[in-house]
Amino acid sequence: MIVLKAAQQDLLGALQAVAGIVERRHTLPILANVLMRKTGENIELTTSDLEIQVRTNATLGGDAGTFSTTVGARKLIDILKTLPADQVVSLTANASKLTLQGGKSRFTLQTLPPEDYPLVNEAVDFGPAFSVPQKTLKSLIDQVHIAMAVHDIRYYLNGILFVAEGKTLTLVATDGSRLALAQAELEADIPKQEVILPRKTVLELMRLLKDGKSGADDQIEMRFAGNQAKFIFSGMEFVTKLVEGKYPDYNRVIPKNHQNIITLGRQTLLSSLQRAAILTSEKFKGVRVNVDPGVLRIASSNAEQEEAKEEIEIDYDGPAIEIGFNVTYLMDALANISQEMVRLELHDGASAALITVPEQPGFKYVVMPMRI
């Protein structure tokens, strides 16, 4: 049976949409596969890692009738990438194997029974659906994901807090040393929702969401249950397990009354930090920042007694402040901001600093100081 017959780029695009969560090595070999369910010319492609499930549909030709199988997702993608984009390829089923043919190239792949594929058990108590533009959610995730923890024992930090209430959508991420918050105003009221999306889910959504540059204002529909979230967008269905736990009170971390405020060019500050970072200690990545009337100084040194010093002219007439930072945390924030100007808000050398953007009141980035 000819399972499908389509241009290489069409099949590759459909597979790549669902294959992001597939690990090359897994305790269950079948989870390295993609589940294919054929009905006529329509093919439903599904992948799962037991906690996340991604599904899409594509019209890819082939014989009439129904058919199901599972085949190695990464192998299939790797083969397709080597074939010309406009070449017509076919997948033919024969016993327990699939044959991929394109031009004079032919590949025979092992399959596993579709009935053995472990699909995610979807919740039955999903709340009401609501939608936001994909570009809005993508922008918010892009702004905060840098502050997510990685393999932290406080498992609730290994992801993003998602808070929807009224007409405000708020995303928060923190690893305990820094915190990023981004907000967007929505067109319609949203019922109160507060969930923690896992790190892997966040990174996959970043990959799949459209940024609106094509001119289309594509929407993403969201629904939440007690321990699951469901996203529907761009012809895809994305179901994920949520992180259980109580997220820290982020409002207590964000400085409210810092009086010493410096507004300066984002790229100027970023370039100075990048140069100073070259001579930081490999282990601590610390830089010393001195703020004096009219000038901001950045200094770094390392175990080899090498030093870097940078100066930036600023419009500032407040008290002198000396404070240390992990330079990576500052560079991450500045590299992720698209606006030209940023605002650095300080209190003293022992208090957290707040980075904001004059043109974007919904963005806040908090960095804890470090001893240098």
Strand segments, DSSP code E, in 142-276 are 159-174, 178-198, 219-224, 228-233, 236-241, 260-265
pLDDT at 188: 82
Residues β-bridged to residue 237: 55, 232
> Which residues, in sequence order, are CB contacts of 125 under 8 Å at separation 6+?
225, 226
Positions of the chain with pLDDT lower than 50, given as ranges: none
CA-to-CA separations, 235 to 17, 45, 57, 140, 238, in angstroms, rounded: 10, 11, 7, 22, 10
Q: Look at residues 283, 278, 315 and name the one whose alpha carbon lies nearest to residue 299.
A: 278
Q: Are 274 and 262 in contact (CB under 8 A)?
A: no
CA dist 144 and 136 (Å) reads 13
pLDDT in tens, 39-94: 998 999 999 999 999 999 999 988 888 999 999 999 999 999 999 988 999 999 98
pLDDT at 216: 59
**Mutual angle of helices 73-81 and 8-18, in 10-degree steps:** 140
How many other C-beta atoms can be found within 10 angstroms of the C-beta atom of residue 351?
A: 14
CA dist 298 and 275 (Å) reads 10
**C-alpha torsion 324→328→334→336, nearest 10:** -150
pLDDT at 27: 82
CA-to-CA separations, 255 to 18, 184, 199, 252, 260, in angstroms, rounded: 41, 20, 26, 8, 12
pLDDT at 318: 95
Residues 96-129 as b/e (b if ≥16 CB within 10 A, e otherwise) read eebebbbeeeebebebbebeebeebeebeebeee
CA of residue 162 relative to chain centroid, distance? 13
Q: Look at residues 139, 158, 162 and name the one whose alpha carbon lies nearest to residue 150.
A: 158
CA dist 300 and 273 (Å) reads 9
Read off the tokens for 130: 């609501």
Question: Which DSSP string corresponds to 202-238?
Answer: HHHHHHHS--STTS---EEEEEE-SSEEEEEETTEEE
Question: Which DSSP string corresponds to 92-119?
Answer: EEETTEEEEEETTEEEEEEEE-GGG---
pLDDT in tens, 202-246: 999 999 998 877 655 799 999 999 899 999 999 999 999 999 999
